[in-house]
Each structure stands twice: as C-alpha cells, then as structure tokens.
Structure 1
Amino acid sequence: MRDFRDAKAMAQTLRESLTTKAVTISHSESLELVSKMLGVADWNTLSALLHADRRDTAGPTTRLNAATALYPAVPLRDLVPFPNAIYPMFVGRDGTVKALNQAFEGGREVVLAIQREAAVDDPRFSDVYEIGILAQLLELELLGDGTFRVLTRGLRRVALRGFVAEASGYRAEVSDVSEAVARDARHLIRRIYQRFQDYTAAHGMLVPDIWLFFDQTRDPGQIADTVATRMKLPIRDKYELLAALDPMKRLERIEALLDLPQRPVSVNYAATKRQALDHADRRRHQYATLEHLLLALIDDADASAVMRTCGVDLGKLKQSVLEYLDNELKHILTEAGSAVPTPAFERVDQRAALHAQEIGNPAVTGINALVALFPETRSPAARMLAEQGVSRFRVDKAIVRHAANDKG
C-alpha cells in the first residue's frame, strides 16, 4: 500500500460491495473496518502510520505567498484555546468534519477560529475573530450520536486573513504573529500566583499541575497563557487575553480579572441572604449554614424558577430542609447574638459573584448562588438537591432556557 489514498479506495470498494448486499455502512465505518483488516486499531492510527512513511507529501498547508498559508479550519462556538494546552472538542458540523478529514490526511495541523456569536451555524470571515490558534490534531473519535470528539494541542497564535467554507470544508488563510519581547515580570508574576490561589479556592478548582509550572518557568507569556486557560471567563474576555500579543499586557489584564469581581447584588438576592440569616436567628442557631441559604433560595423568585424548570417539587424540598434545620442542628444553639455565616456559606456567596461574572450577569442573583452551591458536595443542602434530581448540568440547561425566553 502506497499511502492513505489506497486505504480510502479500499474503504470505498468495501462500502460499495456491502451496499450491493443490502448492507449500508457510513464512510467512517468503512475506514475503521479497513484499518482492522490491516491489523491496525483504528483509522487515525493507520493514517498516521501511512503518513509517517510518506516523505514526498506536500503537507496540508498551501503557501499563498511569503506571508500567508492556507489550513483546514475549525470554528469554535464556546471555547477560546491557548498555545501549549490540550483541548477536547466535540464537533458535528459538516464543514468542520470535512476540514478535520483534510487535516488528518495531511500534516495534522488545523486553525482554530473563535466565533463572535455562538448562534451562527455557518460562519464566514466576518463571523470569526482576527486572532486564532494553529493546533495539532492528536485524536479523532466517532461518538454514538454521529458527532466527533477531537483532541488538539495549541501550537501558536496566528492572524486570520481569510476564512471560507469550501466543498472540502472550512479553510483559513493565516499569517504568523509576533509577540512583544517580555520584560522582567517577577513581581507581577508573584502577585498573580497569590491571587490565582485565592481564585482557584473560590471556584473549588484543583490545579496541582499549575503550581509546579510556576516553579519551573518565569516566561511571562507562557504563565499568562497557562493561567488564562484555566480561568472561568466569558468568551469575549478570554478572547481579549488571546489577542493581547504583549505578554506584559496579558499578565496585567489577568491580574485585573483575578480580582474578586465587585458585582452588585440584585435586590432579590440581597433579600434572600437576609432571609437565610433570619432563618438561623429565629432558631437561635449560632451559624447560618448552606441549609439556611437553600431554604431562602426556595422562596427566591429567580432561583425557584430555575428549580421548577429542573422538575423540583419545591414543597417537598422545603419540608426536607425544615426537618433538617429543626432536628439536626441542635448542637449549634446559642442564647445570644446574631447568626454568623459559615465558611461554606461565604464560599458560596463568593462563588456566586464569580459565576455572575462568568455568564455576564450585571448583578448577582439567587440563580448564581444556586449554581455556586453544587461544589459543596459534602453539605446536606447539596444532597437534598441531588435527591430531587437536580444537578449542575440540569441547572445550566435551565439557565440557558430562561435566558432564551427573556430574549424572546
């Protein structure tokens, strides 16, 4: 066998032969069958082996002139990739799948272009941002629903000079970009290190790898990209970090974003927090716990609407919370003073502000607090929500539906 084209020809012949026998399989399934016939685990592995033997291949990139090159492209709706990071992506658009096939048949390099609006199904040049990432394709897996899971590794920033949908899939014309020379940023990096520790704690994030990375490098650009990859931000904010070609400005922007957001609190959520403290005070509890907060959220107009969308029986949930508060917290009874929020209560409140920032809410609401409660997995409040079949995933879907209804 000379190259991947012979293997694809075999797959096409197999597919046509099976069709004559009333057996229908997809093109990708025929490729997988041919790979197994040749003693290889899957098509991606076979393709890689064949490409490794080809020394005369021109590669997937077409040089248009000295400054630009043409690559297969993948438009991204809800992800901003950065260099030196590995990303799993789930794709299903026909133009994207064709572009991935082109990339896997060539040098396994693809341009990742970030869409300005996630709702655009067939993007053109005006629908993507100017800066993207040249990435290496590592794995391609066909999922049961017909979509693909793709594993990529970001290589470097590129500037998009063109983006089109062709019969062979999306393609992007790009040129390389130069990043500014980094200055001494030791003091700024130290501040970011300290603030990122607070940020990960507030989000309940476990990132042990990044602390070792901080010890091993002092490159401002790499540190900025590594931290940006792990931050939970709206797409626009993340893109602005990607597009900042000066590493120092990128670090300064990250430092500003790492400051705990000063989001105003909505009138409803302010009343909900007071109600949670009142629930504790009326029971003469020394501390206001997450269960007091959950009881208040049941009466919060925003949070209760989302819970109802998730199928929660609010009456039954309220009964469970009341039974817990009245029977299980006798050990925190006190004779004097006002209830003090527990550390978990304060973490949820802080995390709610971060969630409001992430999704672009102008103010913190009870919905944000409801989402912020899920990482507290050991709390009875989280357990009672789980007993009602409520998960973070279901709440996120309900939030999207509510946002769509508000716009409509």
Structure 2
Amino acid sequence: MRDFRDAKAMAQTLRESLTTKAITISHSESLELVSRMLGVADWNTLSAMLQTGRRDTPVLSVRLNSSIAVYPAVPLRDFVPFPSATFPLFVGRENTVLAVNRAFEGAREMVCAIQREATVDEPQFANVYAVGLLAQLVELQRLSDGSIRVLTRGLRRVGLRSFAATNNGYQSEAFELPESPPADAPELVRRAIQRFEDYAAAHGLLMPDVWSFFDRTRDIGHIADTMATRMKLSVKDKYELLAILDPVNRLETIDALLDVSSCPFTPAYGATSRRALDLADRRRHQFATLEHLLLALTEDADAAPVLEACKADLVALRQNLTDYLDKELAHIVVETGTAAPTAAFQRVDRRAALHAQEVGNPGVTGANALVALFPETRSPAVRFLAEQDVSRWRVDKAIAKASAKDKG
C-alpha cells in the first residue's frame, strides 16, 4: 500500500483507473477524493500536513518532524486569526473560559482552533481544522456576565494532533508548522499590494498602519497574512489561506482572489464608459477624468435611479459638471488624438468590479461605479456629489433598498 506522502501519485492512479471505466474526473477532484480516503477533510489540509511530514488520521500512524507540546485551546466559531495580528476574543463557553484562565495563569500561550461548523457547541477533534494558530494572551478582562474579553496576538501556525475537553477546559497537542524558505517575488508583491489598495478602498477599509507597513517590508508571508486578516471572506476561504505554508503560494492565492479582470461590464455600463470617453473626445481633452465619468453616470440606467433615490438634483449636477469640463480643463486640451482614461478612472473601474463581486452582480453596473467613486476624495466629482448631499452611505442604502425591492 502506498504511503500517504504519495498522495499526488495516488490521485493520478485513481484518475487513470476511473478512465478505464469510462469515468472522468479532474485532477483537483481526484486530490479531494484521495484526501478523504486518508481520513482528511480536504486537499488543502492534507497538503499542509504533507509539508510537515504529518497526517491526522485514526487509521494510519503519525510521524512528526517537530516536537509536540500541550496547550490550553480555544475553539473559534466564525473567525480565522493570522500570525502577527492582534485581535480580541470574547469567551463564554465553560470549557473555553477554563482554558483561557489556565493559559493566563501559565505561559499565556494558547492554541486557537478553527471550528468547521459554527453551530457545534461542544467541539471535538473532528470538528476543528487541522491547522490552527498559537497565540499569546496580551490582556484579560472579566465581564459582568461571566464571560471574558481577551486581547490576543497571533504568533505562528501550528498543526493540531489532538483537541479535547478536559477538567481544565479545552486543550490541544500541537506542533509548529515551519513555512517554506523566504523567496523574492517583487512583481507579485507590487501587483498584490495594488489590487489590495483597490479592495480596501472599495470596502471602505481605513488602514494607514497597513500602508506604512507595506512600505517597510518585503516579507511575502507577512504581507499575505496582513491582507488575509482584513479581507472579507468566508471562514472556509480564510482557513484555506491559513493552511498554505508556502508564502509565495499564499500571496498568489490572495492575488487571484483580488483579481477582478474576469468580472465584465454590463452592456449598460459599457455604454456609459464609452460615453465618458466621448465626452472627453468632443472637448479634445487628452484625458477622460472622473468628472467625465460622473456626467455619463447621470444618464446611466443603473446609476441615475440611485442618484435620484438620494434626492440629487440631476439637472443641477449635470450643469455643474458641464461647466467644470468646459471651463476648468483647458490645460488638457490637445490638437489631435483620443482621450485616455486617467489612473483614477481606471481605479474606479477596478473598485467597481470588486463591489460588483461583493454584492453578487454578474457584471459591473453604473451603480457599482458610483460607489467606487467615493474613495477618490480629492476629485471635483466627489465634491459635486457632496454638494448634492450624496454620500457613500446614502448610495449604499439606496442600492440595498432597490435590491430588496427587486427580490421582494
């Protein structure tokens, strides 16, 4: 029988065997099937185990490269922490309170285990993922209702060999999961940071400390974990990022999640974008700016109703924008050529695609573009919207109300 380390070879053999029986499965599907055959929930978890010479299965023996230590443990229902992040935990379950008290009285280190299902009140080993986080207690506050607020700092990834309730609360046998050696991938770092900037702006995330950190470091693993901490993903998706031990692979996965090139413009917004460029061409402007775009959005099938729901005076808004384009942009008039969108215009398109993905739109609409305008706080376009008392909050509210009405 093959050793579990030959999982990929087993997957290939499985595919070939099924093909002879006229059954075709993909390579990824075969990896998932082999993972389950070895008693592991999914390939990402098994891959993490393979990188440390470890497997969690009641059928096969366990061999570890790292020493095992026993820690107090805390099961997390709907949260995935990452190394270096500081985060609060509110602890209320009896076994969790006992574990936190034991950790606070000892070395102040504990294992954070991520639950597979948030509905499980008394998790066992089978109910938590195989990769967790070793964390340090920074501060403990006992609340009046008997629960505990714990300020915690993530230290490093660990593999879980066990997780169980004892008389002293939850505890876990865990061992360190060493990351792959550092690698240099400047182009990947640059692209991921640029895409994350758009993502942060689209989601209204204000993180000045993060941007200064990115300027100071080129630690790919730390960059990836910093992004993953702040991204709005499901517990399963975040866990999959936690379980990737190769820093470059982890950042590549995040970069792919941030890539919005596959989200197309709807026909209506495609026409609006072309109309914005045409507004610039007719004035012989070298660039199409956000003011050209906003003027086009006032006639967009999706954006105009949102502006009206925000009580904007579209006639006055169009006049203000037209006056600005005709009187204030003389310095970008050229003799020949066609207008090119400014960097800000392109940023709005990327953020609009991110917003479309977030709200579940199959394509980018003018309403998504309207939302994506607001992070460009220095642009006259945003100032003209503010003069109409149109804010990001009011636009979000109008879009949500319209969506609820459509579903109703």
What's the TM-score once normalised by structure 2's chain length? 0.59
Matches within 5 A, 1:9-408: 71-73=73-75, 75-76=77-78, 80-87=80-87, 103=100, 107=104, 133=133, 135-136=135-136, 138=138, 151-157=151-157, 176=174, 178-179=176-177, 182-183=180-181, 185-187=182-184, 189-199=185-195, 202=198, 207-214=211-218, 221-229=221-229, 232=231, 234-235=233-234, 237-247=237-247, 249-257=249-257, 261-334=261-334, 336-357=336-357, 361-402=361-402, 404=404
> Matched residues in 1 for 2:400 and 2:261: separation?
22
> Matched residues in 1 for 2:226 and 2:373: separation?
27
Indicate how the Cα distance of structure 1 residues 237 and 102 shifts in structure 2: closer, same or farther if over 3 A, else same: closer
Q: CA deviation at 1:385?
A: 2.0
In structure 1, the gaps of 5 or more residues are 1-65, 143-147, 165-170
Q: CA deviation at 1:75?
A: 3.7
> Matched residues in 2 for 1:373 and 1:97: separation?
48
Q: State the Cα deviation string for residues 93-135 of structure 1 (Å, max 9, x = none).
A: x958997898479627777677889xx8998869987755454
SS for the counterpart of 1:182 is coil
Indicate how the Cα distance of structure 1 residues 251 and 290 shifts in structure 2: closer, same or farther if over 3 A, else same: closer
Q: CA deviation at 1:241?
A: 1.0
Identical aligned pairs, as a percentage? Answer: 51
Indicate how the Cα distance of structure 1 residues 193 and 103 shifts in structure 2: closer, same or farther if over 3 A, else same: same
Q: State the Cα deviation string for residues 225-277 of structure 1 (Å, max 9, x = none).
A: 245335x4543544421232454542442354465633222222111101212
What do you get for the CA RMSD once the two structures are aligned? 4.7
What's the TM-score once normalised by structure 1's chain length? 0.59
Q: CA deviation at 1:334?
A: 4.6
Q: Which amino acid aligns with 1:225?
A: D
Q: State the Cα deviation string for residues 312-334 of structure 1 (Å, max 9, x = none).
A: 44444334323333443344445
> Matched residues in 2 for 1:250 and 1:277: separation?
38
Q: How many residues in Structure 1 have an aligned counterpart in Structure 2? A: 321
Indicate how the Cα distance of structure 1 residues 141 and 287 shifts in structure 2: closer, same or farther if over 3 A, else same: farther
Contact 1:202 1:351 in 2 (8 A): yes
Q: Which amino acid aligns with 1:186?
A: A
Q: Which amino acid aligns with 2:290?
A: L
SS for the counterpart of 1:364 is coil
In structure 2, the gaps of 5 or more residues are 1-67, 143-147, 202-206
SS for the counterpart of 2:261 is coil
Q: CA deviation at 1:291?
A: 0.8
Q: Which amino acid aligns with 2:372?
A: A
Q: CA deviation at 1:343?
A: 2.5
Q: CA deviation at 1:209?
A: 1.5
SS for the counterpart of 1:301 is coil
Contact 1:233 1:358 in 2 (8 A): no
Q: CA deviation at 1:211?
A: 3.3
